[in-house]
Structures are given as structure tokens and as C-alpha cells.
Amino acid sequence: MLEALRSGAWLNPRRRKAWCLIALAGFVIALFLLAATSNDGQDFRGRPLGSDFLNVWAAGRLALEGAPEAAWNYARHAEVELALFPSLPAYYGWHYPPPFLLLAAILALLPYLAALALWQLASFAALYWAAKGLSFNRLAAWAFPGLFVNVTHGHNGFLSCALMLGGLRLLDQRPWLAGALLGGLSFKPQLGVLIPVALAAGGSWRAVGGASLSVAGLAGVSWLILGTPSWLSFIDSVALTRHAVLEAGAIGFGKMQNVFAAARLLGADVQAAWIAQGLSALLAAWAVGVLWRRQGLSLADKALSLMLGTILAAPYLLDYDLMLLAVPLLLKADEGRFRPWEISFFALLWVLPLLARPLGLWLYLPLTPLAALLGLWFLLSRRNPV
């Protein structure tokens, strides 16, 4: 058994194809049933289709109405959501910085379902562009559970993945553009927390410059268009978000995939959980710095270290953010070379978006941080590049 896991022989082409077909068939059936049992844009439980996209659309509507700062006012924001779906069973909060509100306003020009469709198709097209030229198994890519989780939540994983994959692939050839793409992740800053560490450790100073200009440019444009009150409202909302969403677990610690949530899931108090999160972030920053300085490390392994480090460092991470695992999966498949244990580990990463939440909710098992720790240990323990 151990030898099969070590060599990856257990995942032969026939078995891999069968599992991917089963997963893909399951996702297609689930999407069909979701659509068939929906009514007026809501599923059978009353939740909006593409549930988490509702907070984006509602924030965009407030911006179009001339009150962008109200997007971070939970009462005002909830009014817009309830005006669209009066029987809404839950509130979907807006926690993003102002630059993302510019995109939300553009999407909110359309009716909700049309905006949702445009959002998913356009962001997926960006990911398709970022992956252009890579060689990988198309069936495994289409069956990747992260894609299904992202679509059903109407979330921004395709855009995050496109920016990360595009930025990393262009790092050597067009570093300024690569940095600009990576800086675009400032729309969701917790996902970019280790990018400066990685770029600095790898000596990619032009990419650092590109990322800095990108972040500053997005912040400046949003300030000019949306005004100072929007930034002040966002800053004021951070403490409330930290308390209500993170510390009180309003969305459930099983759904959250970071170390803080794992500690809370296992019974730690808030202070202990924050200490664990801080130590985890320091460990992740150190590991990413060491690995990105290492000579001969492939792009796939650099991407893997950055994604695993982000999991351990991000103070706020949900299961649909695991769409980012597509970055090292695609790059490793294109590389086509696997060390002992790697096939089994990448198979775990492939299925992780599907398993992470159920295991957290039902078994109180924080699989995602454990997998990230295992992966970083595996990378750090290597002596020579492939």
C-alpha cells in the first residue's frame, strides 16, 4: 500500500479517467438539479443562485446609486439584497476593498442572473487565457472540484487563479507585467500576503515594482472614482468583519480553511487561535522565502510553495478559495515530472476542495492546513531539483 502511494501506481490512467468521469458526471447532475429546482433565481432552500455573488451585485448597485461607501454598511447593503430576494434566508456581507467595487459596479449594470453569468464566463475566460499553451489532462481539469465549488458559489476563484497563474508564468519573460497581474490580487489581499516575500526572495525586483505600481494604481483609481468615504468605510468595517465573521464564526469554522479556523474548530479560544495563526504565517513566510531562494526550483514547485504558504498565512480563507490549487496542479501537469509521493499528494490537492468543508463540518478535521504543512515539509526536505 505504501509503495503504491509512494510511486503513484495506484492512480493508473484507467482509474484516473474513471474517477474524473464520475466526478464530472456528478457535478453536471448537481448543476442540472440546482437549476431545475430553482425558482426566480433562488434554489430550493431560498438561497440565490451563485449565492456569494449577491454581495458583489448588491455592493455594485449601491455604487451606481451614488452611495459606494454604503457597501460596507451592513444594514444598507442588506436592504439591497432583500429588495432583490425578499425571502433571503441569510445575509451575504461585502468585505472587499474599494478597487473591487469598481468591477462590482460594472457587473451591477446588468440584472442579477445576467451579471452572474457574465462574471463567471468572463473570469473563466481570463483563466483560460492564463493557462494557454500548458499541456495537461483536459478531463482532469474540467472535473477539478474547485471549479464546481466556485461556480455554485458564483465566486471570484477564476479571477484569482488567472491573476496568479498568469503572473507566475510571465515572471521571467515579462516581469513588469507579471508583477502587475500579481498586484491585481489586491482585490482580495489575503491571497497575496506572501507574494512580496516570494518575489523578493527570488530576486524578482522588477516584478516587485510592477506589483507595487499595480496596487497603488488600483487604489488610486478607486479613490478618485469612489472617494475618500469609501476607503474610510472599508477601513472601519475591518474590525467588525474580524469579529463577526472570523472570531464568532458566522459562516462556520468548517467552511473556513485557514489555521485560525482550524484552531477554533479544535476548541481553542480566540486568543490562542490568533497566536496559532500568527505562528503559522511566520512559518509560511520563512518556508516560501527559503524555497524561492533555492536554485533550480521549478516554476511548478515555486507555485506549489506559494499556494501552500498562502493557505497557512491567510487570516481569512474559505473553501472556494482552494480554486487557487489549480495553479500548481496545471503547472505540475505541464511539467510532467513527478518525484516519489508527488502523484499521491497532487491527487489529494485535486480532491481537497470537495473534501475540505465536509470533513471540517462533520469530523472536525482541518484537512487543508494539514495538507499545506505536509506539502511544505515535502518541498523543504528535498536536496536536489528534479
Question: pTM of this prediction?
Answer: 0.95
User: What is the b/e burial string over 250-268, where b = at least 16 CB atoms within 10 angstroms of the residue's CB?
Assistant: ebebbbbbbbbbbbbbeee
With a CB cutoff of 8 Å and minimum separation 6, the contacts of 237 are: 72, 95
Question: Which residue, among 138, 136, 115, 130, has the nearest Cα to 160 in the 3D structure?
Answer: 130
As a whole-number percent, the residues of the chain with pLDDT over 70 amount to 99
Whether 386 has a pLDDT exceeding 80, the answer reads no
**Chain segment 71-81, per-residue pLDDT in tens:** 999 999 999 99
Yes or no: say if 286 and 305 are a contact pair by the CB < 8 Å rule: no
CA distances from 300 to 113, 291, 297 (A): 36, 12, 8
**Chain segment 302-345, per-residue pLDDT in tens:** 999 999 999 999 999 999 999 999 999 999 999 998 999 999 99
Backbone φ, ψ for residue 39 (5° rounding)? -150, 125
Of the pLDDT bands very low, low, confident and very high (cuts 50, 70, 90), residue 8 is confident
The pLDDT value recorded for residue 252 is: 87
Yes or no: say if 191 and 312 are a contact pair by the CB < 8 Å rule: no
Yes or no: say if 108 and 57 are a contact pair by the CB < 8 Å rule: yes
